[in-house]
Amino acid sequence: MSIQKVNFKSFDEFFDYLPFDQAEIVSSLREIIKEADPDIQEKLSYNVPFYAKQQSICFIWPSAVRWGGITQGVALGFIRGLEMQKSFPLLQMEGRKQIARLIILKVDDIDHLIIQSMIYEALYLDDQN
């Protein structure tokens, strides 16, 4: 991982930083997340969007924010991914103990129903605390 060279002050600044293809993916994922629960809290953390209710649920990490170790596309990561992986084998652990992620290379790869189901599952797990 490289050292972080940016510090976004707002979502607009974050989006302006992204190449068009990644901004398009981030926008679509953000829309699906907010659709699943309009009351979900959104904030920039580690210079990428994180989403929370009781606790952090998921994040969107574009490869343009290099220090996160994403080499291509955009990662949709789930904090409690280990618990979600049986229901969603698309989620990859890649050696991590808890967080699982799905790498999306282009906006056409986004399956709205699957992503929405993942978000609902993450919200359900969060509600069980």
SS3 per-residue string spanning 5-31? CCCCCCHHHHHHHCCHHHHHHHHHHHH
Is the pTM value of this prediction over 0.85? yes
Say whether pLDDT at 121 is over 60: yes
What is the token pair recorded at 13? 């600044």
**57-73 per-position pLDDT tens digit:** 999 999 998 776 788 99
What is the reported pLDDT for 83?
95
- 5 domain residue, yes or no: no
Total domain count, the chain: 1
**20-41 per-position pLDDT tens digit:** 999 999 999 999 999 999 999 9
Strands 56-62 and 74-78: antiparallel
Q: What is the CATH number of the domain that holds 15?
A: 3.90.1150.200
- 71 domain residue, yes or no: yes
- 87 domain residue, yes or no: yes
Domain holding 101, by residue range, is: 11-127
Dist CA 26 CA 88 (whole Å): 20
Q: What are phi and psi of 55, to 5 degrees?
A: -135, 175
- 34 domain residue, yes or no: yes
Reported as type and span, the H/E element at residue 84 is: helix 81-84
- 62 domain residue, yes or no: yes
Write the single-letter amino acid at 105. Answer: L
Dist CA 96 CA 16 (whole Å): 30
